[in-house]
Amino acid sequence: MEQLKILVVDDEPRMRKLVGDFLTAKSYRVLEAGDGEEAIDIFFKQKDIALLILDVMMPKMDGWQVVKTIRQYSKVPIIMLTARGEERDELQGFDLGVDEYISKPFSPKILVARVEAILRRSSALAGDILEVGGIRIDKAAHQVTVDGEAIELSYKEFELLTYFAENRGVALSREKILNNVWNYDYFGDARTIDTHVKKLRSKMGEKGDYIKTIWGMGYKFEVNA
């Protein structure tokens, strides 16, 4: 079985080594970054990071900025590490889409246990293949085929199509789609979703007709009989 990659981001080399040694002992492949900019660079170059362990206070780009950047493109599990135990920091982390929050100092064994629990949960959610109306969605591989032909989708287009397929026949408001697919309360312009739907329909060809517009509300994914 291929080793899952975990990116450990902390400006303290000793902390990276401590966490890395415990994870390596559990057969994970550990990648390291010493600041936020390096973390972003590694994350987008690798494309198959299974989980991030991320310190809040770092040079160049702090942990919050890293989370905000990654959450625009990915729901990869993120564990935040911080020396500060203030409740408002923890709430900010969850608002941004952080999965776990651990205050320093911590037990490396507890950290590893939380890593394993999150990865079990995320693989249980993501390891499916959906097939509907000639469309095949491989969630684990992040691949979509339409009548056997592969189509190239952006991360958000893939998430949007998956959400539609999982909720076929259900009328979905724009607000509900944004909150589920973008994974946070969205305060921007709801036309964001219309733009993504337009691109998605175009890439799906005739199957794009499965995405029905419900005027004044949102969309419904309905496979023609």
Determine the average pLDDT of the residues in 32-42.
Answer: 94
- CATH number, domain of 182, equals 1.10.10.10
- Residue ending a domain, among 126, 160, 188, is 126
Count of CB atoms situated within 10 Å of the CB of 1:
4
Kindly tell me if the per-residue pLDDT of 86 is higher than 70.
Answer: no
pLDDT at residue 98 in the model: 82
Same domain for 110 and 203, yes or no, is no
Are 36 and 68 in a shared domain? yes
Summarize pLDDT for 172-213 with one digit per residue, the tens. 998 888 878 865 444 555 777 888 899 999 999 999 999 999
Name the domain count of the chain. 2
Mean pLDDT within 80-89:
68
Provide the CATH number for the domain around residue 47: 3.40.50.2300
Last residue of a domain, one of 105, 126, 147: 126
Same domain? For 106 and 158 the reply is: no
**99 lies in the same domain as 143:** no
Q: Tell me the residue range of the domain where 163 lies.
A: 129-221
At 64-74, the pLDDT tens digits run 899 999 988 88
Work out the average pLDDT over 18-36: 94
